[in-house]
Chain A
Amino acid sequence: MMKKLLSIGYVILVLAFIYIPIFLLIIYSFNEGKNIGVWEGFSFRWYERLDTVKDVVVNTVLLAVISATIATILGTLGAIGMFYSKGKFGKYVNVGSQIPVVNSEVVTGCALVMLLMLLGSSNRSIFGLYVGHIVLTAPFVVLSVIPKLKQMDSSLYEAALDLGDTPFQALWKVVIPQILPGVFTGFMLAITLSLDDYIITATLSPLGFDTISTAVYKSIALTTAQASKNVPVYRALTTIIFIITVVIVIVMNLKSNKKENSRK
């Protein structure tokens, strides 16, 4: 009994370490004043000013959705090809795909800057930024799809071909539905990684283009009054993102629970 209480107490302590900063931010996002620690009354003031960071949010979401979509298509096809390849090219792709996973983001980003400069283009461009995000996320799509391919009965594809499907039909109607959960996990992971990224964006984005990461970084790293004036607005933004995340998590788990129950 004592042991059980100790374990529960420990878990609660670590959860407190994780959530106290977030909850502090959420509470003070409703503060009339600017500073944490000085409560000046309840207000939605900072939420009304959220439109000042609208561009930043749009940039972030567009970048994440577009780059994750391209990464998912490239990565899924890559994973299928790699998995069934017996030649050297498949092995080469497999090794190449692991490099961005283990390499540090700074090195990945700066290597791309070198490439862009060698090609004679500017070191900062929308093209480079999207390429950077796809390089960062596509390998994780591959890592999510491969386990599903391993679980799949590979003779299904051949059966479809024997029954007269074209290779494309067999792929689209037989292989893709089988690995779809992995593709979806990969897509979600790609979105999360892209939303979370600071380093690649900071190295490759065009000047004046800010995502949530780079904009928030600027306002907390630089201590000038001009830079930190948006901090309370970012508290409001954090609160909204946190609520959206919680809702998504609850909805997704209710859905998967329903599925499991209906299977039973």
Chain B
Amino acid sequence: MKGAKIIKKEPFITDNKGGGLLKFKRSQLCIPYGLFLSVFVIFPLLLIIYYAFTSKTGTFSLSNFTAFFTEPTNISTLIISIFVSFIVTVICLLISYPVAYILSRLKNSNLAFVLLLLFILPTWLNFVLRAMAMKELLSFIGIPLGSTASIIGLVYDFMPFMIMPLYSTLIKMDKSFEEAASDLGASKVKVFTSVTLPLSKPGIISGVTMVFLPVMSCYVITDTFSGSTGFSLIGKLIAKCFLGENGAPIQINEGAAISLIMLVIMVVTMLLTGGFKNSENARGTNL
């Protein structure tokens, strides 16, 4: 069935026959995807830059940024976002690392596989439904809505995404390094801190990139878990400009400026962690 679609989309493949240029033709297969990305990914990113630096009348201006940075609530939202993302990432890492380590060191590989499935299974449940489940549990045991509840909700939703990359790095690790270290007299703690931990760095990095940035933009959880405390993250500020809810006008220029700030945060995080190299580990593509 898919074959029929491919014929329709790519008639030129069958048109060009010839020996030396064959590789060139295979590479032409990425033209539709390339055009799609140009129109719907690259061009919109350039639009963000354009709108961020222009005023409503279309002239060059920095007013969107001065307006953002002179509003104290915006600054506090920005700082809180970075702080909350950091806290959530650290908690996820501290809970997930021992889990991934224990699973990767189980001798019974069937048991390890079943346990891993149990950790990943909830990610196939819609994440708003998972948030609802956590919210109902919190109200059941009497934890009030607010910043603490938000952090619990965020950790709950993002933890599986931290476990997966950690586990896949730890399971692939060559265990003979650890054995060598302990044969040479290193204590268990020493083996862990100077062999296991450094070797699992790629997994830590891809786990961190998969939690840190998405948390900042994930306003769904903070919206539903903050109650009347008004606790909110930077993603909400961007969304507010574009949702146009209840007939509110869409504020392109302001929204573009905040999006650009968000992009800068993203690039800085990526440079700090070297995350670009690890994007192929993203979201369980490696499982």
Contacts and interface: CB of A to CB of B under 8 A. Distances in A.
A156 interface: no
Size class of the B contact interface (CB-based, 8 Å): 35 or more
A73 B1 CA distance: 11
B9 A73 contact: yes
Q: Chain A interface secondary structure, helix, strand, loop or mixed?
A: helix
Given A10-B98, A11-B103, A241-B125, A97 B283 contact: no
Contact of B99 (A10, A167, A186, A199): A10
Contacts of B40: 112, 115, 131, 134-135
Interface of B: 2-3, 5-7, 9-10, 13-14, 16-17, 22-23, 25-34, 36-45, 47-48, 51, 95, 98-99, 102-103, 115, 117-119, 121-137, 139-140, 156, 159-160, 209, 213-214, 216-220, 223-224, 235, 238-239, 241-244, 250, 252, 255-256, 259, 262-263, 266, 270, 275-276, 279-280, 282-285
Given A77-B33, A96-B38, A143-B285, A216 B102 contact: no
B115 A234 contact: no
A97 B276 contact: no
A223 to B, nearest CB: 8
A221 B153 CA distance: 13
B280 to A, nearest CB: 5
Interface string A66-87: 0000001111011111101111
B129 A140 contact: no
A193 B126 CA distance: 9
Given A25-B132, A104-B217, A167-B22, 17 more contacts: A18-B156, A36-B139, A37-B140, A73-B6, A75-B33, A86-B23, A103-B266, A104-B266, A111-B45, A115-B39, A138-B36, A167-B25, A168-B13, A212-B129, A221-B224, A241-B126, A245-B121
Contact of B30 (A82, A104, A115): A82
A105 interface: yes
A134 B128 CA distance: 20
A14 B31 CA distance: 46
B138 to A, nearest CB: 8
Nearest to B22: A161
Given A102-B279, A161-B22, A196-B126, A97 B156 contact: no
Counting chain A CB atoms within 10 Å of each CB, which of B23, B37, B47, B223 scores highest? B37
Interface of A: 7, 10-11, 14-15, 17-22, 24-25, 28, 36-37, 72-75, 77-82, 84-87, 89-90, 92-93, 96-115, 117-118, 123-124, 131, 134-135, 138, 140, 142-144, 146-147, 157-158, 161, 166-168, 171-172, 185-186, 189, 192-193, 195-196, 198-199, 202-203, 212-213, 216-217, 220-221, 231, 234, 237-238, 241-242, 245-246, 249, 253
Contacts of A157: 26
Nearest to A81: B30
A21 B156 contact: yes
Contact of B10 (A101, A143, A168, A216): A168
Contacts of B276: 98, 102
Those 4 A-B pairs whose CB atoms lie nearest each other, nearest first:
A81-B30, A78-B33, A85-B27, A111-B44
A83 B280 CA distance: 14
Contact of B283 (A36, A138, A166, A189): A189
B127 A213 contact: yes
A10 B121 CA distance: 18
B259 A107 contact: yes
A7 B219 CA distance: 34
Given A103-B266, A241-B129, A74 B33 contact: yes
A238 B137 CA distance: 15
Given A89-B34, A93-B37, A140-B285, A102 B26 contact: no
A203 B243 contact: yes
Given A17-B156, A96-B37, A112 B44 contact: yes
A27 to B, nearest CB: 11
Contacts of A11: 99, 102-103, 115
A242 B214 contact: no
27 contacts: A7-B102, A18-B119, A18-B160, A22-B125, A25-B132, A37-B140, A77-B33, A78-B33, A80-B26, A81-B27, A82-B30, A84-B23, A85-B27, A107-B263, A110-B238, A111-B259, A114-B47, A115-B47, A117-B250, A123-B242, A138-B36, A167-B16, A192-B123, A203-B239, A212-B126, A220-B132, A253-B117
